[in-house]
Chains A and B, each alone.
Chain A
């Protein structure tokens, strides 16, 4: 598909470095965790997981996202998607736990919306660097929300993994995780020690070129799965013994260790 010419209809300042862009293009068929390729004209095209049917939530980290932050309501970007495999939607009788770090809350938030709408019991461990950067706390209000901040400015001082270590996860049927890969890998290790990783889904990030599972730039070792097509959401069992938590590849295909 060609990029859909999409007009920015609203911009929400979520934190000093994170904004949500709303578009006049709706991806109604998208499942939580799926992504779109966002074409910032004249700059680059980057994958962004949908934070809503017509929104992406962006952290300013590089050329493309910096250029996005210069755009305003009425400006346009090109959107292709939705692509990839999203999260498994929980059944109404399942207990779910969300673990999100930083802007990693964005891909999980649409799932929390569904959980809240259906009255499913959902608990959240929501981490950020400081109190100003806590993302979407109101969208996760489908049950208890434990806030952690690296600097201790709100909630429990420390990381989501500190909170997780003290949390009994045996009652949860499904656990959903997104955040920096190091964080996710530590979550994976904690849950694996409890045999809970197979009921856990992780949303991964890799360098994408084509975004449609053809070029192979985002292939993961050792099975050669494409993060853009076979993921970006993977079950913990699929990630056992993989490159997850150890290394990724840059745009030239060179390995970069975490």
Chain B
């Protein structure tokens, strides 16, 4: 299936920040059935991220504040090369920067490793000066997206934060700047406190919530973006089973990204893509595209 400029092996994609540190890990997720894989977010300089605890499982999902750890674009080209040599699944490079110039520097720096697509991280909720710090401003998102689209010859996706009043205004900014797709959503800003010691659990004090708790938020964002935009929407947030993925597709997702569910099932991609196929057959559809956004036609 061709979605947003790239040929996916199936509609499930490894989300950024999960098992994306090395080429070998990305290839492993492809072997586990991912239709495409997204790297961890890569920035301009090596960064060790926040102190631990950086990811903790809660009663309703996961909370994390990794802090964008990465070896920089120059340190990561080799890993993309390894991933691409070990798998034929498309490789999407997630990148971040503090402004359009930094984003473009990182994209240019990774071009030699030939990623199939870029995903702009303007949505990480816990990295000061990066991520959602720039992704809540439509003008900045437009400027960053336009700059990267202009610099590279592969599709550019923009991953959006749900931590805004109106996600469609950010989506429209990305679309008008030439994005091939938007990805919704990144984690929802959150916090957990240890009631016995009184300490916030995360090393960064607050972070982003993922997992089952955020799925209804993600479905609503995807639904709204599908209605507001002409470019494809990639759905992500709390998908743990085929039913979750189908719900997201019915809301308007052309494909889905899967993140923290890898914890419970490392074969989750295969499980979900097979489940989608079974659903399509059961209800008489021939391809995923036939049900994308179908719920909009019901009312």
Which residues from chain A sit less than 8 Å from chain B, CB to CB?
Answer: 1-3, 5, 37, 39, 41-46, 76, 78, 80, 208-217, 219-226, 249-254
User: B192 at interface (Cβ–Cβ under 8 A)?
Assistant: yes
Which residues of chain B (68-82) have a CB below 8 Å from chain A? 69-72, 75-76, 82
Chain B residues whose CB sits within 8 angstroms of the CB of A216 once the complex forms: 18-22, 25, 40
Q: With A2-B201, A214-B263, A219-B24 as given contacts, are A44 and B69 in contact (CB-CB < 8 Å)? A: no
Contact A252/B69 with A215-B17, A215-B21, A224-B24 known, Cβ cut-off 8 Å: yes
Q: Could you give 14 example pairs across A and B, Cβ below 8 Å?
A: A2-B201, A44-B52, A45-B203, A80-B56, A209-B55, A210-B64, A215-B21, A215-B66, A223-B24, A224-B24, A249-B21, A253-B70, A254-B46, A254-B71
With an 8 A cutoff between CB atoms, is B260 at the interface? Answer: yes
Interface of B is mostly: loop
List residues of B whose CB falls within 8 A of some A CB. 17-22, 24-29, 40, 46-49, 51-58, 62, 64, 66, 69-72, 75-76, 82, 192, 194, 196-197, 199, 201, 203, 259-260, 262-263, 266
Residues of B within 8 A of A249 (CB): 21-22
A interface: dominant SS: loop
Taking the closest CB of chain A, its distance from the CB of B2, in whole angstroms, is 27
Contact A214 B24 (CB under 8 A): no
Contacts of B55 in A (CB 8 A): 209-212, 214-215
**B49 touching A252, Cβ below 8 Å:** yes
Whether B196 and A76, one on each chain, are in contact in the complex, defined by CB atoms closer than 8 angstroms, is: yes
In the assembled complex, which residues on chain A have CB atoms less than 8 Å from the CB atom of B71? 252-254
What is the minimal beta-carbon distance from B225 to any residue of chain A, in angstroms? 26
- Tell whether, in the assembled complex, residue B263 and residue A213 are in contact, meaning their CB atoms are under 8 Å apart: yes
Shortest Cβ distance from B297 into chain A, in angstroms? 36
Q: Which residues of B contact A208 (CB under 8 A)?
A: 52
